[in-house]
Structure formats: C-alpha cells, structure tokens
C-alpha cells in the first residue's frame, strides 16, 4: 500500500491511497471466506466452500465489493498512522479506481485538529479564594459549632432569621389540601428556606398570635396555579448559644481550652482552604486560557466532546445500576436536552485542549523522543510490560503522537499555573508560599476536617474539583473528562 498527503483549506487534508492488485486480492480472499460462512453450499460445511466455487456461483464482483467495504477502513487507518494525521471527524472517501478490478485507489478527505492563537497566555491573571482562613471565618465556624448546642428560649418579639417559631400551617391547591403541607405545632427555623421559597419573607417579622396568608409558586412545574398558605404563628423562640469559654470547649471537643480549639480549626480550615485554592488555580487558569481562544472551533470537536461526556455519564450510571431511560425521566431530561446541557462545557474543554497545545509548542514544552521514551518506560514498569514492545504497539495504532501531545499539555498547564498572576477576591496578590501544605502534614487535608462542621467549605471544594475536571478536559475526541456531570462523582 502506498499513500500521499495533501493539505487542503479549512483544516482538511487529503490522503490518496493506492493498493496494488496482489495486496488487495488478499482482502478479496478474506471476503470470500466470510461469505462462505454465511451461505449454504451443498456438499460443504459452513465456511468450507472454496473461493473458486463461490465466484462461479455468485460472481467475482461480490467478493470484491465485500473486500472494498471491509478493507477500506483499514487501509485508511494505515495511511492516517503513516502520515501522523490528527483527525477529528470521519473521512469522506471516494474510490477513484479499482472497483471492477486491478489496482485500488481512493482519496480520503478528513478534517484535522487546528492550531489556535492563545495570545496573552503569558500574562494571565486569575482570582482564587485566599488559602489562609480569616479571623471572621474562624469565628463563624466557632459560632456554627456553638449553634449545635444552643437552647431555644421563648421571646416576646417579632421573628428574625435564626429564630424558631411554632406554627400551624395549611397549604392548599385549588381548594384541596396538599399532602405534607398541612400540620400543627410545626417547628420552623426562619431563614432556612424550607417548605417553599416565599415562606421566609412572610414569617420574618411575624409575632406570636399573627395569622399570615400568602401564595407561592407550585414546586411542580407541570401543575397550574399557585399554592395558598394559611399560617398561624403560635410562639417565637430564639436560639441562645452557649458561652464561648474553656468549659464549653472541654465539654464539646477534645480540647481543654478555646485557644486550643481555635488553633486546631485554623490548621484544619487552613488545609481545606489550601486544597480549594490549589484546585481553583487549575480551574481558573483553564477558564482564563479558554477565554483567550477567539478562533472558530470545529463543530466536529465539540460534538465529539459532547458524545464523550454522554458516554461517560452512561457508563457511570450503569456502574451504579441505573437505567439511562429512568435517569432521564427522573431528571426531566431527554437525550437532546442532555446534549444541549453538555455543549457549553464541551466547547470550553475543546478550547482548553487547543490552547494548551499552542502553549506547549510556543514554550517548547512538547517532549522529545527521549522524554517520550522515558514516559513509556514508566508506563511499562507500572504494568509489567516491555518498554520496546509497548512503544511498538503504541506506534502501530498511532497513539505516540497522542501521548506526546498529552505530555505537552500537562507540561503547559504546569507552566501556566506556575507563572499565572494570583489575586484574592479583594484584588490583593496571593503569596504562592501560602498554597503549600505544611511540611508536617502527610496527605494534605486532615481526614477528620469534617468534624469541625465545615460542611459549606467541603461542598465548595467538591464544586471546584468538578469544575476543574470540566474545564481541563483533554482531547475533544479522546479525552477522559469530564467533569461536571449530573451524577454524584468520585472523580
């Protein structure tokens, strides 16, 4: 087989492939063997009828057409590997000769990954959360811990956020009671946003003995008309927090004094905030880098990334024993709406991929053959393979260039995160030294940080991780990313 490569306009190339008659005859022979398994010839077991007999009965052209259909993709793939073509879409193939006999020739026009301009990458400035907990944050955490041990005391005043009120509540729709919205002596915390969104604005400022009536939107979008609420306020109680003293600290924690407890909170919250800030550097750098890409992105790359994310979601659903159709129904989605939901993060991921490739090339970060060999040796060592055999297999399937690109993108991201300007939400510079965990800390964040009641910080950390996965997805056609999906992740 011989092939040539011609560069066309609009990020396309043309591969011209020629397969001589002798080589193609092997494909024809294989085609007749497949045909022999599918037909019944008297006197022969399935698959044992000779080619000569099949040609006599069905004609030579049947085998040739089967060979063209089956072998063409393989010839095309060989040409792609030979010329190291970074394809991003299926090819348009035209057979130019050899359909009836003789040498087979065909042209394959295919779209390839473009290069983009990421000008300004060396002057990026990003905002990240401060990696150092403030005094206010520590005080807020202590208050949250004290609130867990608060006592409710009746008061003769209007209700405010944080107060607990005892109410009789009746919720109706079209004159009929709504299950779960009608009860007596219900304890409600003002400002909690429970029941319906509108309840707090009507109960805030209410006093014992007040009757409150209002309408609220029905939580079910398919239901027409509003909900009607009638509420009687029976009692207002405020939460009295225990004194922040050593006695409380020793009774409710492992520490004897408030100072010891505060020091522990500073350490644990500091570890949490460092982890969040480190993830934010990755996430915000990727987003800022994507924002530099003004070139038009090939639709094929976006569609490939969307399909990858959907396949990843389907795989995780199946691992959890969930049916895809049931998931779509439960979330009110369709295949089309899910694809639309994934489109924006997919486009972002493609821009990051292209921009990182550009930075790697401009900064000279794409690994040379020696570094590539080192990486393959490391991969082989992890799996007990022979490095030379692994490299040969990767070369055979055209994966060396992909591996080289991935290493270049990784190096580019490392370069960017080391050189990007960091500021906090006040616009003040962030000292990179504060992004490092203390040397006496083993695995970053302490495993019991949740015990300090930092649920809000933990949730923020998880969001950052998901966003990072979404923004820093690799290749649009072969990356594993993904991120921000509507299923609970571990990634």
Q: What is the pLDDT of residue 140?
A: 95
Q: Please name which of 487, 488, 221 lies closest in space to residue 341, comparing C-alpha atoms.
A: 487
Q: What is the CA radius of gyration of the chain?
A: 33
Contacts of 191 (CB under 8 A, 6+ apart): 160, 161, 162, 200, 204
Q: What is the pLDDT of residue 47?
A: 72
Position with higher pLDDT, 66 vs 59: 66
Q: What is the pLDDT of residue 142?
A: 96
Contacts of 20 (CB under 8 A, 6+ apart): 1, 103
Q: How confident is the model at residue 444 (pLDDT cuts 50, 70, 90)?
A: very low
In the numeric block, which tokens belong to residue 291?
């924002």
All CATH 3.10.50.40 domain ranges of the chain, comma separated, are 151-240
Alpha-carbon distance of 487 to 297, in angstroms, equals 28
Q: Is the pLDDT of residue 61 over 80?
A: yes
All CATH 3.30.70.1050 domain ranges of the chain, comma separated, are 2-111
Rounded to an integer, the average pLDDT of 2-13 is 95
Contact (CB, 8 A) for 27 and 51: no
Q: Residue 18: beta bridge partners?
A: 2, 105
Q: What is the pLDDT of residue 136?
A: 95
Rounded to the nearest 10°, the torsion over CA 247, 249, 250, 252 is 120
Q: Residue 229: beta bridge partners?
A: 171, 214
User: Of the given ranges (136-140, 221-225, 320-324, 370-374), which has the lowest mean pLDDT?
Assistant: 221-225
The average confidence (pLDDT) of the chain is 87
Q: Please name which of 331, 345, 141, 175 lies closest in space to residue 253, comparing C-alpha atoms.
A: 141
Rounded to an integer, the average pLDDT of 8-26 is 94
Q: How confident is the model at residue 218 (pLDDT cuts 50, 70, 90)?
A: confident
Rounded to an integer, the average pLDDT of 88-106 is 94
Residue 141 vs residues 136, 272, 417, 465: alpha-carbon distances, Å: 9, 13, 31, 23
Q: Is the pLDDT of residue 452 over 80?
A: no
pLDDT digits (tens, 9 = 90+) for 139-188: 999 999 999 999 999 999 999 999 999 999 999 998 889 888 999 999 99
Q: CATH classification of 151-240 is 3.10.50.40, yes or no?
A: yes
Contact (CB, 8 A) for 352 and 291: no
| Whether this model's pTM surpasses 0.85 | no
Q: How confident is the model at residue 463 (pLDDT cuts 50, 70, 90)?
A: very low
All CATH 1.10.3120.10 domain ranges of the chain, comma separated, are 270-471
Q: What is the pLDDT of residue 440?
A: 66
Residue 460 vs residues 135, 275, 328, 445: alpha-carbon distances, Å: 19, 11, 26, 14
pLDDT digits (tens, 9 = 90+) for 327-343: 998 888 899 999 999 99
Alpha-carbon distance of 286 to 402, in angstroms, equals 20
In the numeric block, which tokens belong to residue 439?
């040397």
pLDDT digits (tens, 9 = 90+) for 244-290: 999 999 999 999 999 999 999 999 999 999 999 999 999 999 999 99
- Domain with residues 270-471, CATH architecture: Orthogonal Bundle (1.10)
Alpha-carbon distance of 315 to 62, in angstroms, equals 40
CATH superfamily of 2-111: Trigger factor ribosome-binding domain (3.30.70.1050)
Q: Residue 236: beta bridge partners?
A: 165
């Amino acid at each position: 087989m011989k092939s040539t490569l011609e560069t066309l306009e609009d990020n396309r190339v043309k591969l011209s492939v020629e397969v001589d008659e002798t080589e193609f005859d092997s494909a024809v022979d294989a085609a007749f063997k497949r045909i022999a398994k599918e037909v019944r010839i008297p006197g022969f077991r399935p698959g044992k009828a000779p080619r000569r007999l099949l040609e006599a009965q069905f004609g030579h052209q049947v085998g040739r057409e089967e060979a063209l259909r089956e072998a063409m993709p393989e010839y095309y793939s060989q040409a792609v590997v030979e010329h190291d073509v970074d394809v991003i879409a299926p090819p348009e193939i035209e057979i130019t000769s050899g359909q009836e006999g003789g040498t087979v020739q065909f042209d394959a026009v295919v779209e390839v990954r473009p290069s983009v301009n990421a000008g300004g990458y060396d002057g990026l400035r990003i905002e990240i959360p401060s990696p150092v907990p403030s005094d206010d944050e520590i005080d807020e955490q202590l208050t949250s811990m004290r609130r867990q041990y608060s006592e409710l005391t009746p008061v003769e005043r209007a209700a405010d956020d944080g107060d607990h009120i005892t109410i009789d509540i009746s919720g109706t729709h079209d004159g009929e009671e709504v299950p779960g919205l009608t009860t007596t002596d219900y304890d409600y915390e003002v400002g909690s946003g429970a029941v319906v969104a509108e309840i707090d604005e009507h109960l805030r400022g209410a006093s014992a003995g007040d009757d409150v009536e209002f309408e609220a939107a029905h939580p079910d979008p398919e239901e027409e008309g509003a909900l009607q609420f009638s509420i009687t306020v029976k009692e207002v109680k405020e939460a009295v927090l225990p004194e922040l003293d050593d006695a409380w600290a020793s009774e409710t924690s492992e520490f004897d004094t408030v100072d010891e407890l505060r020091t522990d909170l500073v350490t644990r919250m500091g570890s949490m905030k460092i982890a969040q800030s480190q993830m934010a550097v990755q996430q915000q750098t990727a987003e800022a880098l994507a924002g530099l890409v003004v070139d038009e992105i090939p639709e094929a790359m976006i569609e490939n990334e969307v399909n990858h994310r959907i396949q990843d979601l389907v795989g995780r659903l199946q691992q959890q024993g969930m049916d895809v159709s049931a998931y779509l129904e439960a979330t009110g989605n369709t295949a089309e709406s899910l694809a639309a939901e994934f489109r924006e993060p997919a486009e972002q991921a493609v821009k990051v991929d292209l921009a990182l490739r550009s930075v790697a090339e401009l900064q000279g970060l794409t690994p040379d053959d020696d570094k590539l060999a080192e990486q393959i040796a490391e991969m082989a060592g992890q799996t007990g393979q022979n490095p030379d055999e692994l490299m040969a297999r990767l070369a055979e399937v055209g994966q060396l260039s992909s591996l080289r690109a991935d290493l270049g993108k990784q190096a580019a991201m490392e370069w960017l995160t080391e050189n990007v300007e960091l500021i906090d939400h006040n616009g003040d510079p962030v000292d990179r030294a504060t992004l490092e965990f203390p040397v006496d800390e083993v695995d970053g964040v302490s495993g019991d940080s949740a015990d300090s009641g930092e649920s809000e910080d933990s949730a923020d950390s998880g969001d950052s991780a998901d966003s990072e996965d979404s923004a820093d997805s690799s290749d649009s056609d072969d990356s594993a990313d993904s991120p921000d999906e509507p299923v609970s992740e571990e990634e």
